[in-house]
């Protein structure tokens, strides 16, 4: 099969991805073999390719927003029939026995594993995944609209929950890529007022089209104090900016797996009056199920930019240069 691997992590201009031919993987016990239809391109893939996220194994195939079909099953994998339409997401496995898993926080499991990091992902024609960690997907929705939900949607949903936005509250969104444009729609559907701060003019225009009350450059102050904010841009300099924009008792959640260094905070300006700063770490399967159910009840407008599998390196380069409005998606066939 054709696949892309992270061969030499570094800036996209140095060519960290290499297109290769690999054997089609065989599913182990409890695993399914999935023929990939579409794999969305996540900023985490970019962090892995550029070395911001340390590779856990050499020559890993990135990609963890996969829509495809089950074409083979390993021993004991009897939950999904051949031909089932499924989604493969970032969280690949958790132990199920540690104190974090037992309290419902499998995203914090010390033994958790991740698609496209610990195991080969969806920048390939096939991948294997544990049956317990894939999502059954509806037939009627296009694959390129479903794929971004599997990470951008899920992690944004968790970030919104972590932000403790009150009913009818004022939400600030910093950065407006794949995850933010979905999360904004979830918040709007819940009755929030959303203010977007992001550097790209095309992203600001999309934010207004989707219903944001305002859209301004990333470092500008919103037009009113915020009850909650989510930082999607991996820019630590924006943490004090977002904290300063919060009203009393507001919460800032940081959605990314990677963030550049945060400058010193001034307690009186950034944290006093019970402002809260929270990180977001991966997701649970419950988050995934909740987001997919929400998207079924409130169909989200998924803005995508299509690429072929042969263009995976260009898709990541465009993402790095802010040339993607919405979500980039790799199309691998029907």
Q: What would the pLDDT profile of 137-148 be if each residue is shown by its tens digit?
A: 999 999 999 999
Structure tokens at 251: 């919460």
Query: Cβ(178)–Cβ(152) under 8 Å?
Result: yes
Residue 279 has pLDDT above 90, yes or no: yes
Residue written as token pair 């992902």:
121
Tokens at 25, concatenated: 């993987």
Q: What is the pLDDT of residues 189-239, one digit of tens each?
A: 999 999 999 999 999 999 999 999 999 999 999 999 999 999 999 999 999
CA distances from 232 to 156, 161, 266, 272 (A): 8, 14, 22, 23
Provide the token pair at 74.
């390993």
Q: Exposed/middle/buried for 90, CB within 10 Å: 0-12, 13-18, 19+?
A: buried
Q: List CB contacts of 60: < 8 A, sequence separation 6 or more.
A: 5, 6, 48, 116, 117, 119, 120, 121
Residue 121: per-residue pLDDT: 98
Cα dihedral sign for 246, 251, 254, 260?
positive
Let me know: does 292 contact 299? Beta carbons within 8 Å. Answer: no
Residue 132, pLDDT > 70, answer yes
Tell which residue, 17, 111, 14, has the closest CA to residue 61.
Answer: 17
Give the pLDDT band (50/70/90) at residue 256: confident
Residue 334 has pLDDT above 70, yes or no: no
- Nearest-angstrom CA–CA distance, 273 and 270: 9
DSSP secondary structure of 272-284: TTT-EEEE--S--
Distance CA(135)–CA(91), nearest Å, equals 11
For residues 62 and 66, give the distance between their C-alpha atoms in angstroms, rounded to a whole number. 11
User: Which ranges in 190-276 belong to alpha helices (H)?
Assistant: 201-210, 238-245
Longest dimension (CA), the chain: 59
* Interval 66-124: pLDDT, tens: 999 999 999 999 999 999 999 999 999 999 999 999 999 999 999 999 999 999 999 99
Q: pLDDT tens digits, residue range 308-326? A: 999 999 999 999 998 999 9
Mean pLDDT of 38-63: 95
pLDDT at 333 over 90: no
Which residues, in sequence order, are CB contacts of 67 under 8 Å at separation 6+?
36, 37, 38, 39, 85, 86, 87, 137, 143, 144, 146, 147, 150
């Amino acid at each position: 099969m054709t696949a892309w691997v992270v061969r030499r992590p570094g800036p996209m201009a140095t060519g960290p991805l290499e297109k290769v031919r690999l054997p089609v993987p065989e599913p182990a016990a409890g695993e399914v073999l999935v023929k990939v239809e579409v794999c969305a391109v996540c900023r985490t893939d970019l962090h892995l390719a550029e070395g911001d996220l340390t590779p856990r194994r050499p020559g890993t195939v990135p990609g963890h927003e996969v829509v495809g079909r089950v074409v083979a099953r390993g021993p004991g994998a009897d939950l999904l029939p051949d031909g089932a339409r499924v989604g493969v997401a970032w969280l690949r496995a958790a132990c199920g026995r540690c104190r974090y898993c037992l309290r419902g926080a499998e995203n914090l499991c010390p033994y958790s594993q991740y698609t496209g990091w610990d195991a080969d992902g969806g920048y390939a024609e096939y991948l294997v995944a544990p049956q317990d960690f894939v999502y059954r997907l509806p037939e009627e929705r296009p694959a390129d609209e479903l794929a971004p939900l599997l990470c951008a949607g899920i992690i944004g949903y968790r970030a919104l929950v972590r932000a403790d936005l009150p009913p009818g509250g004022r939400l600030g969104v910093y950065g407006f890529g794949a995850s933010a444009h979905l999360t904004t729609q979830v918040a709007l559907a819940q009755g929030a007022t959303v203010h977007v701060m992001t550097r790209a003019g095309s992203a600001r225009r999309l934010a207004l089209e989707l219903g944001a009350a305002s859209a301004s450059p990333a470092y500008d102050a919103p037009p009113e104090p915020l009850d909650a904010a989510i930082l999607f841009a991996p820019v630590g300099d924006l943490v004090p900016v977002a904290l300063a924009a919060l009203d009393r008792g507001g919460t800032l959640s940081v959605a990314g797996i990677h963030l550049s260094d945060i400058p010193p905070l001034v307690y009186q300006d950034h944290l006093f009056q019970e402002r809260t700063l929270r990180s977001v770490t991966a997701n649970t399967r419950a988050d995934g199920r909740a987001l997919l159910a929400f998207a079924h009840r409130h169909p989200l407008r998924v803005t995508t930019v299509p690429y072929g599998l042969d263009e995976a390196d260009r898709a990541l380069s465009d993402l790095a240069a802010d040339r993607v409005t919405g979500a980039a998606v790799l199309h691998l066939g029907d």
